[in-house]
Chain A
């Protein structure tokens, strides 16, 4: 908002960071900013190709689901979206829910990306936040102010994957946690009924 305000804060934060670097031992991260960035570079290139492929809606959803499964930690996102009930769910239920969830995400967010035809998403930077990497990108739409997309990347699933996506600061993970929670409430906590709803939703 306020440039002078932010730059003052940045300077202060920068000073604090330098101080911490000097006094603290360097923490070693398994996943580097460069690795996180190249993962998202690849994912973004594939998303750009789908958005601008001119393919049918149905074909685009299929492509998005493939990208989502390849680059996102779908089991962790699904488990987080389900919340505490994931603990009491059976392995079979979790597998069915995760599968339904992946399709739902592809349809729901694929629909939004359809509005982005002609948009170019560009990775602009990466940085370490807590124990993960934030890869920042900008989506430039014709005739509209560009908007910010951030991918949260971690290797703690065993491979490099993103586990959250922030669009103008709005977290996909938190949004889906609220949404799936509401869908489960509607079904009185019945996970099997929820799975059927998720298969149709989006």
Chain B
């Protein structure tokens, strides 16, 4: 990260903290005040998946051999390397910063511009992705309301804001043609994910009685789990305490 970028990070971070103060609190439940808008977006996203992402993912997955797909996805995630290191530093996580910096250097050189992942396969430097949304969580910014974003899918106010910061502050953008390179590598890796997790995604989107509610639950619970580790058992629902109580009233409409 260049020094010129640092003030941007700090300014944006300060704003995020202020923005987070106005967000309502959450306690393991679902905070979804924009549900009707979100549901409309969900319907549109499902339509986009049905006519584009699902068939395109299938076509990409069948037509392009696995090693090529892996390489393109590797290259895309390698371009996130500098930004990942920057966020590790902002989180005060020096160990992950060193880990991800080494990973970036190894894969950018031995891994031929990130097309291969020798760091992960030979050096024990597995991917430890992070972004500005995680940084805000470390700083104590609450997740805010649940959002389903057009094309990007499930998110929260904090995570959506983090995503915007990730895109705007990616050091790759200061390279010549950096923006174009980042954009060009994004689509193959999206299609690869759609293909790889095809069955699980299909079952959530198309086999569920309420795919919106399922996707919301999956996103919020797995996100909180990733941010807090094994602590989610504390939020587990105890059916023996609550067998006759309507605990979910207000959580699920």
Contact = CB atoms under 8 A, between A and B. Distances in A.
Interface of A: 1-6, 76-77, 79-80, 83-84, 87, 108, 111-112, 115, 127, 129-132, 134, 136, 145, 148, 150, 152, 154, 156-157, 163-164, 166, 168-171, 173-175, 177-179, 181-183, 185-186
Nearest to B99: A3
30 contacts: A1-B93, A1-B134, A1-B227, A2-B91, A2-B93, A76-B243, A87-B244, A115-B200, A129-B234, A131-B238, A131-B240, A132-B240, A145-B126, A148-B225, A150-B232, A154-B240, A164-B236, A164-B237, A169-B224, A170-B218, A173-B236, A173-B239, A174-B217, A175-B214, A177-B252, A179-B210, A181-B248, A182-B208, A182-B209, A182-B210
A173 B248 CA distance: 12
B209 A76 contact: no
Which of B92, B130, B210, B238 has the most A CB atoms < 10 Å from its CB?
B238
Contact of A150 (B92, B218, B233): B233
A171 B210 contact: no
Contacts of B209: 179, 182-183, 185-186
A179 B208 contact: yes
Given A80-B237, A130-B238, A169 B232 contact: yes
A170 B222 contact: yes
Contacts of B176: none
A76 B217 contact: no
A84 B95 contact: no
Contacts of B48: none
B5 interface: no
Given A83-B246, A182-B209, A170 B217 contact: yes
Interface of B: 88, 91-96, 126-127, 130, 134, 137-138, 199-200, 203, 208-210, 213-214, 217-218, 221-222, 224-227, 229-230, 232-234, 236-241, 243-244, 246, 248-249, 252
B92 A79 contact: no
Contacts, number: 138
A115 B124 CA distance: 26
A111 B203 contact: yes
A178 B233 contact: no
Nearest to B235: A171
List the 8 closest pairs (A to B, CB-CB), nearest first: A169-B225, A182-B210, A182-B209, A2-B93, A134-B233, A80-B239, A156-B240, A169-B232
A170 B199 CA distance: 17
Contact of A5 (B93, B199, B200, B225): B93
A178 B94 contact: no
